[in-house]
Amino acid sequence: MPRRLLRRFAADAGSKNEDEDSTSTLALTANTSRSADSPSVTSSTGKRKRDALKPKTTTAIASQDDANVRRSSRKALKLEDEEGGQPSGRKAKRQPSKRIKGQNGTTTVEPPPGWEEVYDITAVMRRRVLAPVDTMGCEDLADRKRSPRDQRLQTLVALMLSSQTKDTVTAVAIKRMQEGLPSGFNLQSLIDVEPDELNRLIEKVGFHNNKTKFLKAVAIILRDKFDGDIPDTIDGFISLPGVGPKMAYLCMSAAWGRDEGIGVDVHVHRITNLWGWHKTSTPEQTRAELESWLPKEKWHDINHLLVGFGQTICLPVGRHCGECDLANKKLCPSAVASSPTKRRVKKEVEIKIDEDGESKPVEVEGLVVEKADIAVKIEEESKEMGNVEEVLLAGDVDTAARQDASYIFNVVHPPQANRASV
């Protein structure tokens, strides 16, 4: 290698060492200026040593009293009840029914502990609040002026229409059929009516197109196979198109007065699982579990009881656990803390012209719409006037049936005023 290249290589190496020395000197100076509680030592190459990063350990012997008092700051203290000595904030445990196998090979089902208390408290709560099923249930929609055969038919049709449909909407559809079918609501009228006309009468219910086909097919089957009446067996009901086990057991109980099974809908299936009576995934599994231990005299009442409870307090979305006696008494393992109801408010600015011709902006707090099962309550509040106007739209069942839609009502006083929405 030429001497000139060797001298250049040595010069470059020397300048690089000087830069590293200056860097390590700056790092050492900065480390020494830190607090003595967190020392950090660096090597000549600028890297920290692992031993220097380890915190200093000090040994201290705590007294027995200090050890007893010391608690984690993240855990809240459990308050003991004066009577039972149990934590007051603890929820009820899920204790489902148990299957016990005997020595002779027979299997008996032990009911969930405390189920009778839960059932009785729920019955008391149901008597306090009127639910839609109490006045618009499928059992109460048949025209009592018609013959018993026609009443049984109307009960069956009401149950078929109630699938995936609210009771208020089902009641409207049955009323329209009673008034719109030729010669009244009977089997012959159901056979003679055109499908388009029948579809128009029940257009408010869910899946009305399919249900129109089912009703026309069921009418022909009842005429040809069941002598113009509805079936009187569970197998006969299930053989009809559009009729499942839930409808079969409910119709058998409501139309014929025989309780051969429990009608389990979404409310019964959901609420009994929330109570921890069982852990099932389908209504049919829930029916089998309930029928294995629930007394037969309660088979008819439990559907009506839990449907109304699910419509008023234990809602599918937004359960009112704060109003539930089971949650207050720590009997429901699925109780949750209640949260305030969110309300939609539409703010507007109203431009009002006074006598002098000057425009004066007035802020209006819009309208708050609260949905109910039978009526819609509208409140209007004006900051300038300070008045509150309440309007209750009731009486028209068809209006109440549209409770699923969210309506925003805009009312302006006086009519001549000009508005600018914000």
- Catalogue the active-site residues: 246
Angstrom distances, CA of residue 152 to CA of 141, 213, 253, 402: 11, 20, 11, 28
Nearest-angstrom CA–CA distance, 169 and 405: 13
Cβ atoms within 10 Å, residue 148: 11
Closest CA to 167 of 219, 205, 111: 205
Residues paired with residue 378 on neighbouring β-strands, in sequence order:
369, 391
Q: Which residues contact 418 (CB under 8 A, 6 or more apart)?
A: 351, 353
Closest CA to 419 of 346, 347, 349, 364: 349
Q: Which conformational region is residue 321 in: left (phi greater than 0), alpha (psi within -120 to 50 degrees), or beta?
A: alpha
Give the number of C-alpha atoms closer than 13 A to the C-alpha of residue 187, restricted to the C-beta side: 21
Q: Which residues contact 355 (CB under 8 A, 6 or more apart)?
A: none
Phi and psi at 87, nearest 5°, equal -60, 130
CA angle 207, 211, 217 (to 5 degrees): 160
